[in-house]
A and B are shown apart, each in its own frame.
Chain A
Amino acid sequence: MELLYDRMGRQAFGLAYRILGDGASAEDVVQEAFMSLWRQAERLDPSRGRVSSLLMTLVHHKAVDLVRSRKGLSFGQPSLDSVLEQGVPDVAEGVAEDQGRQAVRRALESLPPEQRAPIEMAYFEGMTHVEIADSLGVPLGTVKSRLRLGLDKLRRELKMEAHR
């Protein structure tokens, strides 16, 4: 667990901080995520994704949950069971960690702003598609299709990166 922390702590804290915007909450979230992983260690199945990906998914879920509860939305505890059950598939061979960081950032930057903004609002701000539509002042259907176009383009970019 210490090795995992040394390797992943900065990325985990970076993600929590980006979502929450303050260090104290980000610390709590990172600690909770590591503790969840630790308590569930015996249930981990490496064939369902890397431990590091799973950790990041836990950090994301917990941080988003906290953001939503601040807004008075009760979305319930993110279900670790469902995360463990479904696993976290790797996006493509070779895309992870050091190379992955660059690849994902480049791919995200390659998106047109109207696709990138709703994706970032969903992932980094924990907004629902309805909230995104309200915030951008566009119809819900438009948000749905921009999210889809954006993710599809990201997927293509990442696959290309993996084969580069």
Chain B
Amino acid sequence: MNCEEIEELAAAYALGALPPETEGEVEEHLQGCSRHPEIADLRAVAASLAWAAEEREPPAALKTRLMSAIREGDTPAAKSERGARPVAAAGFWRRMFSPPVAPYAVAAALALVVAALIGWNVSLQLEDGGGGVSVHTLAGSGGAQGRILYIADERLGVMTVAGLDSLDVDLTYQVWTLSDGVATGIGTFNTSEGGEAAASIEVDLTGADSVAITVEPAGGSPQPTSAPVLQADI
């Protein structure tokens, strides 16, 4: 296949509208030819068509089924060789008073994020933190430390902490955002016996001055009742 033929087929290729054998020939050509940079653009345009489909509410049973499939241990990536250490955390933060969540469910929510952290480490160095991704260091007394990786575009934060005390069952760690002296509770978590935790969080940090973690009675408090054990300036 020559470059002219590729150009002719570019749009159909981008839309996935070629029969497999033709598609294979196009891909073969593209691997050895750098004269078709616009094909990446066409693929992006084609992929964006996904957003043109009307949203539709899936049956509630689908979520239940999906979550239990994940919980039942379909090779959680977090447990595999590259996936860092198994994560012991509790509670999706935005559900402040949520009951304890099964470890696998948490691992499931975190798998992407743990993986992403590995990837982001690389891309952050390459791109100087561009793309709306920022890293905030949580500092505290003693050996406690942590960090929050925040993706502004996705309103998604990922927190990892270590060196915290393991709390009694009637206590919990609670996370807050502080803006102009006003604390907003985001959620609660507990650590592993080794004092580590990781969690993902849907939060908008625009306008927040800092993120703080305090020790509160189990279930969380409406407002902080103790001094922060960890804090990060945003």
Contact = CB atoms under 8 A, between A and B. Distances in A.
Interface residues of A, number: 81
Summarize B's interface: helix, strand, loop or mixed.
Answer: helix
Interface in A134-162: 143-144, 147-148, 150-152, 154-155, 158
A151 B16 contact: no
A101 B16 contact: no
A7 B48 CA distance: 17
Contacts of B67: 1-2, 5
A100 B44 CA distance: 13
Nearest to B43: A89
A11 B70 contact: no
A25 interface: no
A30 B62 contact: yes
Q: Which of B69, B82, B112, B127 has the most CB of A within 10 A?
A: B112
A95 interface: yes
Interface string A61-82: 1001000000000011000001
Given A11-B53, A35-B74, A128-B18, A2 B58 contact: no
Interface string B83-122: 1000000001000000000000100110110111011101
A11 B55 contact: yes
B233 interface: no
Contact of A1 (B49, B65, B112, B118): B112
A117 interface: no
Interface stretch (B3-11, B135-143, B187-195, B214-222): B3-11
A147 B70 contact: no
Contact of B66 (A3, A5, A127): A5
A110 to B, nearest CB: 12
Interface in A29-66: 30-31, 34-35, 37-47, 50-53, 56-57, 59-61, 64
Interface of B: 8-12, 14-20, 27, 40-59, 62-63, 65-67, 69-70, 74-78, 80, 82-83, 92, 105, 108-109, 111-112, 114-116, 118-120, 122-123, 126-127, 153-154, 156, 200, 202
